[in-house]
Chains A and B, each alone.
Chain A
Amino acid sequence: MGLGMQKMRLRAVSGVALLALMIAVAPASAETAKLRIPVSLLSAPSTSASATGNAKAGAAAQILDRRGFWARVSVGGANGWVKLSALSLASANSGREIASLTSGRSGQGNVVSTSGGRGLDNGADLTRGTPSPAAVAALSSLAVSQDDAERYARAAHLTTRALAYTAAPKEGASQ
């Protein structure tokens, strides 16, 4: 086998490997987002991680991965972790999302409704059933006691946390 042939095979193999890597790294539908503030791209999802680069406010970011309240993003060729709160998702995604959510289903353009104003058609399948008080009554036989739930939680090694409710973010915090 000539050297040229070996090189070609190597290139083909690495091409396949690269493709496989790309598939593994990029989720089936990578989400796009926009940076709302200038950020440091971090090497790990932690504020104490080292910076691997910087990105400017307004830059387009591909979300590659998410862990808790962090996202690993690709911005202009650089990769790193940023707080999810640094990303604007709705402005970058709303158009695409609305398009994908309506395709082949409701067929209506405006799927994002804030409050009233819609007819009953959307709820037809679930609210137009013949009332079944028997099915409602049967729910009680499925219910479990607080003791059951506590036993279950202990077996699953769930431990409670003392956490306060959070307040609504200020207007404009997520524009």
Chain B
Amino acid sequence: MMRLSPRSAVLCAAFALAASAVSAQSLPGGGDTRSSGLGGLLNGLSSFTQKESPEEEARSGEDIAAPVLGAAPPWKNSTVQRYVNLVGRRVADQAERRDVAWRFAVIDSPSINAMAFPGGIVVVTRGLYALLDTEDELAAVLGHEIAHVNRKHQWKVIRQQKLVALAEGRITGKDASKTSKLVADLGAKLIARGLDKSAEFEADRDGAVLAARAGYDSSALISVMQKLSRVTSDQGDASLLFATHPAPAQRIEQLVAAASPELEVAAVPSPAAARLKSAHSAP
């Protein structure tokens, strides 16, 4: 969750006004404000607000992912990488967004975590991957991350903070490398602090639905949560995951409380459940 300084909050309010004024201006019959001083300001601001595009989102996601992949590159196991991409893409294709380039990877880190980046990059650490026993569990983990991208959870936060940085003159929008650096820093902070709890619960609910739409066990996230609640230090370090997410027991409770009868019916192991183990043992 982003916290704003009072000054930033004022600037944000100015942006909100600017955005609404600009959209009003584009309506048929809307008065032309271009000639006034305020109109000029609004047009200047609108060049920022109108910039949002899947391309900008993708670029930002890549800027944020770059240091993460620098710290933990994709695991050199092409069989597992392909497998995770097949399962990930299968689940992602159940989501609504079509303007995303889905890319999945198991990254070579012993810690236990998974992350989504704006624009469709999803990574699972080797530590978390090793905890999984079935393809249904993998689909559940990927479904949660896909849901974050589908709802633009991270991107909305980053985008808003980027606008504040523009308004405060910390970036100009013309220096691409400076913008990339700022976005990477904002992303690192977001990774360390985590999203709002409600966004995590929403990703749990949506992720279970996406996985179940794809044909997987709608209750597999519960298995993953049970494993997380029992994880021991020799299985890997899950401290970042726990610092940025609600407790596993609370996540199970919220997921269960929200489950629809249709989702409960889908709580059966999929025919693909055992595939994960065979992908594991492959060279």
Chain A residues within 8 Å of B, Cβ to Cβ: 28-29, 31, 66-69, 83-85, 88-90, 93-94, 97-98, 100-101, 103-106, 108, 111-133, 135-136, 138-140, 142-146, 148-150, 152-153, 156-169, 173-174
Min CB distance A17 to B, Å, is 27
- Some 10 contacts from A to B, beta carbons below 8 A apart, are A90-B249, A101-B238, A104-B233, A112-B246, A115-B195, A130-B71, A142-B78, A158-B216, A160-B213, A174-B257
Min CB distance A54 to B, Å, is 21
Q: Are B192 and A119 in contact (CB under 8 A)?
A: yes
With both beta carbons as reference points, the residue of chain A lying nearest to B217 in the complex is identified as A68
Q: Are B105 and A105 in contact (CB under 8 A)?
A: no
Q: Are A126 and B248 in contact (CB under 8 A)?
A: no
Min CB distance A175 to B, Å, is 9
With a CB–CB cut-off of 8 A, which chain B residues contact A67?
Answer: 267
Contact size range, B: 35 or more
Q: How far is the CA of A28 from the CA of B235 in the complex (A)?
A: 16
Q: Are A68 and B267 in contact (CB under 8 A)?
A: yes
With a CB–CB cut-off of 8 A, which chain B residues contact A93?
Answer: 229, 249
Q: Are A131 and B184 in contact (CB under 8 A)?
A: yes
With a CB–CB cut-off of 8 A, which chain A residues contact B271?
Answer: 156-158
Q: Are A127 and B68 in contact (CB under 8 A)?
A: yes
Q: A149-B93, A152-B86 in contact; A101/B231 too (CB < 8 A)?
A: yes
With a CB–CB cut-off of 8 A, which chain A residues contact B272?
Answer: 153, 156-158
With a CB–CB cut-off of 8 A, which chain A residues contact B266?
Answer: 161, 163
With a CB–CB cut-off of 8 A, which chain B residues contact A136?
Answer: 62, 65-66, 69, 121
Q: Are A68 and B238 in contact (CB under 8 A)?
A: no
Q: Are B250 and A142 in contact (CB under 8 A)?
A: no
The total of Cβ contacts below 8 Å across the A-B interface reads: 269
With a CB–CB cut-off of 8 A, which chain B residues contact A98?
Answer: 247
Q: A119-B192, A158-B214, A160-B214 in contact; A106/B66 too (CB < 8 A)?
A: no
B48 within 8 A of A: no
Min CB distance A61 to B, Å, is 14
With a CB–CB cut-off of 8 A, which chain B residues contact A106?
Answer: 239, 242-243
B43 within 8 A of A: no
Q: Are A129 and B70 in contact (CB under 8 A)?
A: yes
Q: Are A120 and B189 in contact (CB under 8 A)?
A: yes
Which one of A89, A108, A129, A165 contacts B209 once the chains associate, using CB atoms below 8 Å? Answer: A165
Min CB distance A82 to B, Å, is 11
With a CB–CB cut-off of 8 A, which chain B residues contact A156?
Answer: 135, 270-272, 275
Q: Are B243 and A168 in contact (CB under 8 A)?
A: no
Q: A101-B231, A158-B272, A168-B202 in contact; A140/B93 too (CB < 8 A)?
A: no
